[in-house]
Amino acid sequence: MVKSILAVLLAIVIIVSALLIGACVYLKQAKDVDLVGSVAHAVSVLSEPISKEDVCDHPFDLKQDMANVQFIVNESVEDMIEYHEEHGYKVKFQDLPDEMKAIIYLSDKQVGALAQVVLMQEAVGQVQVNDLYMDIEIYQVKFDKDVNDGNILVNTVFGINTAQYREAMAGTPIEGAIPEILYVSSVNKVIKGEEAFTYTLEHVSLELNHLTPEQTEDFFRTIDMFAHIGTAEYLNGQVGNALIGSLVGSETQRGLAYSLNDIGARDFEFQTRNGEIYFVVVR
């Protein structure tokens, strides 16, 4: 479920680290003043102080929301989620019971809590970059309706703690340009496919720390010209597919809904109940 999420997070850690290093080199060598200015400004903005409250307007409560997830999921699939005082929650994707007993409804905050638990379960909340380990934490998953066509917008916010990288870069020009926590805010539109367990994504926005979506687009577009790491739209698609793919799943990607296909799940939906949007595993 979480392999693709980790791949995306790892890629972003490496990308941003490379960008900061590359920017310093590029500022010295490039002759295009406008190009230099855009990169220099972005690096400057990325280094400004920022807090979780600045980027999250709908954070989940891991303790409360995960307790609700355990109750909801286990009411349908017995003992799929276990809790141990010493080790916390564990989500099982194998050796499941023979039957999915009920439809599963998960709110966006519950989806966020579940994603964070699986991240901790399978990777101890970390990704590795060379000999360094970076702590990863998901802070927010938020569902909203696109006012133009009624499709679902999904916002994912996560943070990457760069303490070990900053320590490794101590005494270099890079040190001061690296934020203590890199916040990534992704918004994608999810369009439900006609066939079961299918969907498409449309890029809406990607933001790094205090950069606006437009500044983030320009930043990645500029860096992509010489580093070839992909545009903001491409990277945002990777983040969106990681999260939604982990919820939906397929024959080639393990996900919550598809993993229950053999015991009664027939599709997924997004439904609105009492003004709140839910991810639904339909039986």
Alpha-carbon distances of 233 from 41, 89, 116, 188, 228, rounded to whole Å = 20, 34, 24, 10, 14
pLDDT tens digit sequence for 184-229:
999 999 999 999 999 999 999 999 898 999 988 887 777 677 656 6
List the pLDDT tens digit at each of the 283 positions of the chain: 555 555 555 555 555 555 555 555 555 555 443 455 666 677 778 778 888 999 999 999 999 999 999 999 999 999 999 999 888 998 888 889 999 999 999 999 999 999 888 877 766 556 555 566 667 788 999 999 998 898 999 999 988 887 777 777 677 655 666 677 889 999 999 999 999 999 999 999 999 898 999 988 887 777 677 656 678 888 888 888 888 888 898 888 778 899 999 999 999 999 999 999 999 999 9
Alpha-carbon distance of 95 to 84, in angstroms, equals: 19
Does the reported pTM lie above 0.75? Answer: yes
Return the pLDDT at 173: 58
Return the pLDDT at 7: 54
Return the pLDDT at 253: 75
